[in-house]
Amino acid sequence: MINSDDLRFFRIIANHASLAATARALNVTPPTVTQRLQMIERKLKLKLVERHARQITLTDEGMLLAERARLILAEMDDLHEVLNSQQHEISGCLKILAPLGFGQEYVAPLVTEFQGRHQNLSVELELSDNPDWSSGHAWDIMIYIGELRNSSLKLSLLAENRRFLCASPAYISKYGQPQTPADLRQHTCIALRENAEDVTMWRFNSAGSEKQAAVRINPKLASNDGRVIKQWALKGSGIIQRSEWDVAAHLKKGELVRLLSDYELPSADIVALLGTDLRARSARTSKFLELLKLRLAQQPWHK
């Protein structure tokens, strides 16, 4: 019967293109890898790998074993973390996914603070302007901003976050201010392409009423990087729709001006997405979530 060491070994084989590459990853000789693989195949009485000149392919049985090994080993790791958490020990590896700009500004400092408190903990923080939010199994915590569509993940609110329409004083001086959402069709608008949202459809609610309006903009400029579109707006290139956390300081300094303040844009609350497995209940996850809630609920972007 194979054991967990066999499963971990075979997972490494499955993640490499050849047995030689596996040997380099393990810092052993290729014959050692071959012998260990043959031993596992004898235990199972199955052929797991097809060997070619310079590469390998998994058989159907090998593919099944690799996938089940991933699940089994993840469950074992989760169990280990939960058992540690029963002793209030924060250890293991905390894996976090966050948007690039927000992650750099507000998540990264909290990561170093948290790891500094817990010397037995390591942290992997991935920042991306185009994250794969569907890969919840790969992360302990995913930080998300914006409209969340169908998700099987557990959601925890970190901070309320409004969206504002704004432009620079230079743009307003040259082109004037829109008075209604429909006026945006006569202005230069800048689009941020993120989260698979319909970024050219700008929706508004009239403050204090149920009246709604939607305007399809024809952006002259667009980018998937929030920092880029903000810089364009600061230089007077057009009107942007941006999260409060990102433009609050610029509004306070007068570098940007809020437009159509009698209308509200859909909010983009900042939330943490958690898996439903044991890792979501581990001490490392729950304690870091507490820190996120404590600091972000204070909306530090207004300071």
- Which neighbouring-strand residues pair with 95? 124
Rounded to 5°, the CA angle 177-180-186 comes to 60
Give me the average pLDDT of each 10-residue run along the chain (303 residues). 86 88 86 90 89 86 88 76 63 88 94 91 85 64 80 83 94 94 93 78 79 87 91 96 94 95 89 72 85 92 84
**CATH T-level assignment (fold) for domain 4-83:** Arc Repressor Mutant, subunit A (1.10.10)
Distance CA 303, CA 299 (A): 8
Q: What is the pLDDT of residues 176-232, one digit of tens each?
A: 999 999 999 999 999 988 766 778 899 998 766 667 888 999 898 999 888 999 999
Residue-level pLDDT at 286 = 87
Residue-level pLDDT at 281 = 64
CATH class of 163-264: alpha beta
Residue-level pLDDT at 208 = 65
Question: Are 88-161+269-302 and 163-264 equal in CATH topology?
Answer: yes
**Domain map (residue ranges) of the chain:** 4-83, 88-161+269-302, 163-264
Residue-level pLDDT at 282 = 76
**CATH T-level assignment (fold) for domain 88-161+269-302:** D-Maltodextrin-Binding Protein; domain 2 (3.40.190)
98: CB partners within 8 A, 6+ apart:
107, 125, 126, 127, 131, 142, 143
